[in-house]
Amino acid sequence: MSFITYVISGISLGSVYAIIALGYSMVYGIAKMLNFAHGDVIMVGGFVVYSLTSSMGMPPIVAVVCSMIFCTILGVAIERIAYRPLRNAASSLAVLITAIGISYFLQNIALIIYGSSPKIFSSVITIPPLKLADGALTISGETVVTIAACIVIMVGLTLFINKTKAGQAMLAVSEDRGAASLMGINVNGTIALTFAIGSALAAVAGVLLCSAYPSLSPYTGAMPGIKAFVAAVFGGIGSIPGALIGGILLGLIEALSKAYISFQLSDAIVFAALIVVLLVRPTGILGRQIQEKV
């Protein structure tokens, strides 16, 4: 049963990575930007829930909704203040440096408010563990909710993109921003909506991550954010199914390498796997080659 336990743990961790990776994939696919501050939005979402539940005694579900709203507003503000003025910059390096600056800004604000000591995060998930095989296999409530949330989010987001006018506008902007503008699509509003959705999902991922691993600090989102970016590239950045596949595979590789190879080398193995995949398929598993127009 140990192997099955490790696989389930990997799928659960990979589901969190997949939810975070959606933010990277959506923003890059539509705005052609890499939002490296996305990992710190996860941390902000976790601290909002922590503050509302521990200090104000707010019910967990209400605190999670408030966290999603707060992170949505934060994501839109980041896009409007930091990224929109640089959207047509001559060098993409300016956007990258700005993203790193926003990341450090959010981390330092959290340090000023909460300090550097990790906080104990009380899980917002109260459902009992699921026992299988006459009790030989126990799946925690956090794992069940995380996997279920990932599936629901992926299905809902896919339907939103393919079946709604806003989703079709996103597809149009991702294909050709100039042509979409000529067709009457509000490009600024569409990109802002993309940041809003990605940031709301980051809040959900932050809550799920901190519920499974009950520790929260200003640096909580740093490594998961990087690994989720790896997952997005792994699956094919810009692809929603690719984010799911990349996240699950990354979670499985990390969990199994910790269990059977080395706990200390697990991160190195994850990044080595990315290098191997990109050597074989540079666009990622589900990525597609983009033809440059001249």
Does residue 216 lie in a domain region? yes
What are 143-182's pLDDT values in tens digits? Answer: 999 999 999 999 999 899 888 999 899 889 888 888 888 8
Give dist(CA 93, CA 74) in Å, integer: 23
> How sure is the predictor about 31, in pLDDT bands with cuts at 50, 70 and 90?
confident
pTM check: above 0.85? yes
Instruction: Centre a 10 Å sphere on the Cβ of residue 57 and count the other Cβ atoms it contains.
Output: 8
Give dist(CA 181, CA 196) in Å, integer: 20
Does residue 288 lie in a domain region? no
Does residue 232 lie in a domain region? no
Does residue 172 lie in a domain region? yes
Does residue 233 lie in a domain region? no
Does residue 147 lie in a domain region? yes
Given this model, what pLDDT does residue 90 score? 60
Tell me which residue range forms the domain holding 62: 2-221
Q: How many domains does the chain have?
A: 1
Q: What is the DSSP string of 199-249?
A: HHHHHHHHHHHHHHS-EE-TTTTHHHHHHHHHHHHHH-TT-HHHHHHHHHH
What are 239-289's pLDDT values in tens digits? Answer: 888 889 999 999 999 999 998 888 888 888 988 988 888 888 888 887 666
What are 63-108's pLDDT values in tens digits? Answer: 999 999 999 999 999 999 988 888 776 677 888 888 889 999 999 9
Q: Which amino acid is at 280?
A: V
Cβ 15 vs Cβ 200: under 8 Å = no
Residue 132 pLDDT greater than 80, yes or no: no
Give dist(CA 162, CA 158) in Å, integer: 6
Give dist(CA 98, CA 223) in Å, integer: 19
